Amino acid sequence: MRLANMNWKQAEAYFQTHDMVILSTGSIECHGRHNPLGTDTLIPMKLLDLIEEQSDIMILPTLPYGDCDWHLDFPGAISIGSDLLCATVKRICDCLYQWGVRRFIILNGHGGNTHALEKAACYLDQKGAVSVIINWWTTAGEINPAWKGGHGAGQETAAVLAVDPALVDRSAISEDEEAHDPTENLKSIGLRRVSFKGVDVMLPRTNRQMVDNGWYGKDHPKDATEEWGKEMLQATADFVVELMAEVEKIQLRGV
């Protein structure tokens, strides 16, 4: 059930009997030479298609832009930053709150959005609403540890293949994509983290300073398959549907 496809009378009827909506958030940024810039937006949109097959929840239009400041040194990246993302989500939810929506399911496609979404969720909690944030890649990796992945690596490449195989340029996948270590003793273990003497230390830097290609992770994109992506996204969508049913049971404050 898509809000964008409904007229106002249909929306009014929904709000009279439902207090839950789902909003997906993404990003436009580099995911390696082989994946599209819209990877973080396309994947949650595919998940929404799978969720819609099983649920009558109102699906809001996807927010395609997020907080990806760390990726702005790759051409095509568009970041609206954490503050604007948070303000946008809060404003969207406020508009729906006035029509009785009190349960917000946020399906997130980009790790950089998490801080802004958590702040928006805190704001909604103070208003007596419930917000559940689902980072799809984390959820998938917890459903099946074999699906865990890095940025633009095997997991996300498999998911994009499930969206549309034509979107992945397999000829652009490099054999190796070693992360650049800042020093001999500072070993890269993530976009914002390094290891020093076995201890994790925060060292924020842009994506391109760490990898030339734009993807990183132990799950190599050359191993991604469409079958992996389809199974993973279906399992994730199934989980979200079950989770939404549980969220409906939460007793709202003051109710």
Q: What is the pLDDT of residue 177?
A: 63
User: CB–CB of 109/41 below 8 Å?
Assistant: yes
Pairing mode, if any, of strands 103-108 and 20-25? parallel
Bridge partners (DSSP) listed for residue 199: 196
Q: What is the pLDDT of residue 232?
A: 98
Q: What is the pLDDT of residue 78?
A: 98
Q: What is the pLDDT of residue 249?
A: 95
Q: Where are the domains of the chain?
A: 3-168+224-247, 179-213
Q: How far is CA 178 from CA 11, 169, 188, 216, in A?
A: 50, 20, 9, 8
Q: Which of 232, 220, 236, 230 is nearest to 34 (CA)?
A: 220
Tokens 């398959």 -> residue: 225
* CATH node for 3-168+224-247: 3.40.50.10310
Q: Strand locations in the chain, DSSP E?
A: 20-25, 58-59, 103-108, 130-135, 187-188, 193-196, 199-202
Q: Strand locations in 31-85, DSSP E?
A: 58-59
> Quick one: DSSP state of residue 91?
H
| Amino acid, single-letter form, for residue 35 | N
Tokens 């832009």 -> residue: 65
Is this structure's pTM higher than 0.95?
no
229 vs 227: CA distance, rounded Å: 5
Residue 230, phi then psi, degrees to nearest 5: -65, -45
Q: What is the pLDDT of residue 1?
A: 93
171 vs 167: CA distance, rounded Å: 12
Per-residue pLDDT of the chain (255 residues; tens, 9 = 90+): 999 999 999 999 999 999 999 999 999 999 999 999 999 999 999 999 999 999 999 999 999 999 999 999 999 999 999 999 999 999 999 999 999 999 999 999 999 999 999 999 999 999 999 999 999 999 999 999 999 999 999 999 999 999 999 999 999 997 666 678 889 899 888 778 899 999 999 988 888 888 888 998 889 999 999 999 999 999 999 999 999 999 999 999 864
Tens digit of each residue's pLDDT (9 = 90 or more) over 121-170: 999 999 999 999 999 999 999 999 999 999 999 999 999 999 999 999 99
22 vs 224: CA distance, rounded Å: 28
Q: What is the pLDDT of residue 175?
A: 66
16 vs 229: CA distance, rounded Å: 37
